[in-house]
Amino acid sequence: MARGKLILIEGLDRTGKSTQAAKLVESLSNQARLVKFPERSTPIGKLINQYLKESETHLADQAIHLLFSANRWEVAETIKATLLEGRDVVMDRYVYSGIAYSAAKAVPGMDVQWCAQPEKGLLKPDLTFFLTNSESELRKGFGDERYESSGFQTKVRHEFETIFKNYESQDYKNNHIVFLDTTGKSIEQVHTSVGSAVEEYIQKNSDVEEFMYF
């Protein structure tokens, strides 16, 4: 039996990631599984949730970065097991969010390389969507979680762009990335674009069995 595909939906806050990830999972046939990061229900996830929700919860920037990464490692084994069962896994955020949000803080020493280090060895997605929306930073109604301000989002967008600019380099070999601007598009329109890219990828790569790692 062929292994399932690991599909990632990435992007800034409020670009429609969670909606699209949920719709994609629904449309895939083989009991696909949705995994959202941060996974807030685990012991580390609860700490992350508290940090995001309560501005008085202080954690060093390095510490919270490592917790976000550890949260991925907490779930890593079950993701691989699900793929080996032949089921697809759709992730809502992953390594790239981890790097972009932390690097955007511009803490001395915490550059992209530093931020990427604890992610080494995690499974690389087979297919990554990067959602942008030119209105997302301007939109009203950002929640009141940490990081949810237009000033910080602009910095995060910068970091995402720097990360993905090098996507044709060795690091990104065999790593398929689809850039999707959702500005002015309906949920259904975006879903159709995502769905057809996934279908095309699966048709062309049905025989890919080996895993890729960061």
Residues forming contacts to ligand NYM in the complex (CB under 6 A) are 13, 37-38, 52, 68, 93, 97-98, 101, 147
Distance from C-alpha of 127 to C-alpha of 117, rounded to nearest angstrom: 21
Q: Residue 11 touches which of Mg ion, ligand NYM, none (CB < 5 to 8 A by kind)? A: none
Distance from C-alpha of 118 to C-alpha of 35, rounded to nearest angstrom: 20
Choose the stretch contacting Mg ion; rule: CB under 5 A; options: 13-21, 166-174, 178-186, 188-196: 13-21
In whole angstroms, the minimum distance from the beta carbon of 11 to ligand NYM comes to 9
Secondary structure (3-state) at 182: coil
Show Cβ contacts of residue 100 under 8 Å, excluding neighbours closer than 6 positions.
156, 159, 160, 163
Q: How many residues does the chain have?
A: 214
* Closer residue to ligand NYM, CB minimum distance, 68 or 160: 68
* Closer residue to ligand NYM, CB minimum distance, 21 or 127: 21
Q: What's the burial of 181, exposed, middle or buried (CB within 10 Å: 0-12/13-18/19+)?
A: middle
Secondary structure (3-state) at 53: helix
| Residue 43 preceded by cis peptide, ω within 30 | no
Q: Residue 147 touches which of ligand NYM, Mg ion, none (CB < 5 to 8 A by kind)? A: ligand NYM
Nearest to 97 by CA among 134, 60, 122: 122
Q: Residue 194 touches which of Mg ion, ligand NYM, none (CB < 5 to 8 A by kind)? A: none
Residue 93: count other Cβ atoms within 10 Å of its Cβ: 24
Beta bridge partners of 7: 90, 127
In whole angstroms, the minimum distance from the beta carbon of 145 to Mg ion comes to 6
Q: Residue 96 touches which of ligand NYM, Mg ion, none (CB < 5 to 8 A by kind)? A: none
Secondary structure (3-state) at 187: helix
* Closer residue to Mg ion, CB minimum distance, 13 or 119: 13
Q: Residue 68 touches which of ligand NYM, Mg ion, none (CB < 5 to 8 A by kind)? A: ligand NYM
Q: Does position 159 bind Mg ion by CB under 5 A?
A: no
In whole angstroms, the minimum distance from the beta carbon of 24 to Mg ion comes to 18
Q: Among 7, 8, 13, 127, which residue interacts with Mg ion (rule: CB under 5 A)?
A: 13
Tell me which residues touch Mg ion (CB under 5 A): 13
